[in-house]
Amino acid sequence: MTETTSRTGLRELAAAAGLSIGSAAHHDLLASDPDYARVLAHEFDSITPYTAMKWGVLHPEPDRYDFSGGDAIVEFATANQMRIRGHTLVWGGATDPPNPAYIAGVTSEAELREAVESHIATVVGRWAGRIDRWDVVNEPLTVLGDPGRSDGLRENVFLDRLGAGHIADALRLAHEVDPGARLFVNDFFVLASGPKQERYFRLVHDLLDVGAPLHGVGFQGHLCFLPAAPPGAIDLPSEDAIATTLGRFAELGLDVEITELNVHTWRFDGDRGARLAKQREIYRRALRAATSVPRCRAVTVWLFTDRHPTSMERFVGRSGEPLLFDADYRPKPAYFGVREALLLAAQRTGAGGLGSL
């Protein structure tokens, strides 16, 4: 661990570039794995709970909350001067973990509305003033943004029982509980141009038109996510495409963030060295795009060490080595691609003396 912690961390380079750099994290590893905690605190200035604040973990039964994981995240962040990105309040397509059965079983609008109001009031209220931003509604759109029967909104119990207005309602509820928190919607496959990005843009525009307290837009950034290449570049947009997308949404007067960045290697050609070199370049380009957009306030990687597989890797049963550190917490080429992009951005601000490549 000496090599990792002796370098200037990514968080210092990002700060010099005017950016926040964060990672999702497993709450249970903060106390059980000292190396995990050490690298997380040294390299990142922001933390997103991987599962601890999702409905299925936090509120597993109608009258029972389990705040232990969320509290562990908040306490760790506070002790290490890290901001917290709350994730997530309403997620109709939750799979990791799924929403509890009692939510899917709700049959009346009034009952579900009461459940959502109570959940948001309780969760946001517990950490009001300590969590500075929330993914209020996660993945509200269909996978590819196709209209389907629901005008491009993902069919789930919240849409079915509460209608399309449940997104704006959730934002209003969260804002009422903690007016100081920055509130986001968040989705995947929206960094590339195409039908899904267009539907996302329309959703954001509609929320602003009805006066919903929306402060930012999250772009998940799972790159080369699918084991088989999809049509077009939906999961591998170019650097220019990412910058154009972020800039387009920022022009609405909103903050933009890449919220769940990782780069799987399973579609790359060549030996492991070649695959990791390709991964480094994609990370570098994504960070360069982000730092080129002034209203892009933060980039969050979706976990940071290959020691702990991502949900997609568990689903397909193979490793995609998508993260910045290997299974022994050694920085991979991808780490240095991120570092290079941050150092270049810091140099543009006149703070380029930090760190060395």
What DSSP string describes 95-144? BTTBPPHHHHT---HHHHHHHHHHHHHHHHHHTTTT--EEEEEE--B-TT
Tell me, yes or no, whether 354 lies in a domain. Answer: no
Please report which helix (H) or strand (E) contains residue 324, including its range.
Answer: none
Task: Give the Cα separation of 270 and 226 in Å (integer).
Answer: 18
Residue 355 has pLDDT above 90, yes or no: no
From the list 29, 125, 117, the residue with the least C-alpha distance to 69 is 29
* Coil vs helix vs strand at 325: strand
Residue 150 has pLDDT above 80, yes or no: yes
* Degrees to nearest 5, angle at CA 192 with 284 and 208: 110
Report which of residues 114 and 96 the model is more confident about. 114
Tell me, yes or no, whether 355 lies in a domain. Answer: no
Mean pLDDT of 59-66: 97
- DSSP calls for 17-30: TT-EEEEEE-TTHH
Q: What is the mean pLDDT of the chain?
A: 95
Mean pLDDT of 116-139: 98
8 A C-beta contact, residue 145 and residue 152: yes
pLDDT at 102: 96
Q: Which tokens sit at 243?
A: 């910058």
pLDDT at 233: 84
Name the band, by pLDDT with cuts 50, 70 and 90, for residue 354: low
pLDDT at 231: 76
| 3-state SS record for 160-219 | HHHCCCHHHHHHHHHHHHCCCCEEEEEECCCCCCCHHHHHHHHHHHHHHHCCCCCCEEEE
* Degrees to nearest 5, angle at CA 204 with 197 and 20: 85
Task: Give the Cα separation of 191 and 222 in Å (integer).
Answer: 10
Task: Give the Cα separation of 120 and 125 in Å (integer).
Answer: 8
pLDDT > 70: percent of the chain:
96
Q: What is the pLDDT of residues 281-335, one digit of tens each?
A: 999 999 999 999 999 999 999 999 999 999 999 999 999 999 999 999 999 999 9
- The residues annotated as belonging to the active site are 139, 260
Tell me, yes or no, whether 126 lies in a domain. Answer: yes
pLDDT at 232: 80
The Cα-based distances of 319 to 28, 39, 227, 310, 330 in angstroms read 22, 22, 10, 9, 17
Number of domains in the chain: 1
pTM strictly above 0.85: yes
Name the band, by pLDDT with cuts 50, 70 and 90, for residue 1: very low
Say if strands 182-187 and 46-49 run parallel, antiparallel, or are unpaired.
unpaired
pLDDT at 225: 92
Q: Which domain holds residue 329?
A: 2-348
CATH number at residue 218: 3.20.20.80
pLDDT at 353: 55
Q: Which tokens sit at 199?
A: 């539907």
Tell me, yes or no, whether 318 lies in a domain. Answer: yes
Q: What is the pLDDT of residues 250-272, one digit of tens each?
A: 999 999 999 999 999 999 999 99
8 A C-beta contact, residue 88 and residue 133: no
Q: Which tokens sit at 161?
A: 């029982």
| Residues in a beta bridge with 21 | 299
Radius of gyration for the chain, computed over Cα atoms and rounded to the nearest angstrom: 19
Task: Give the Cα separation of 193 and 40 in Å (integer).
Answer: 33
Name the band, by pLDDT with cuts 50, 70 and 90, for residue 7: confident
Mean pLDDT of 131-140: 98
pLDDT at 351: 66
Tell me, yes or no, whether 353 lies in a domain. Answer: no
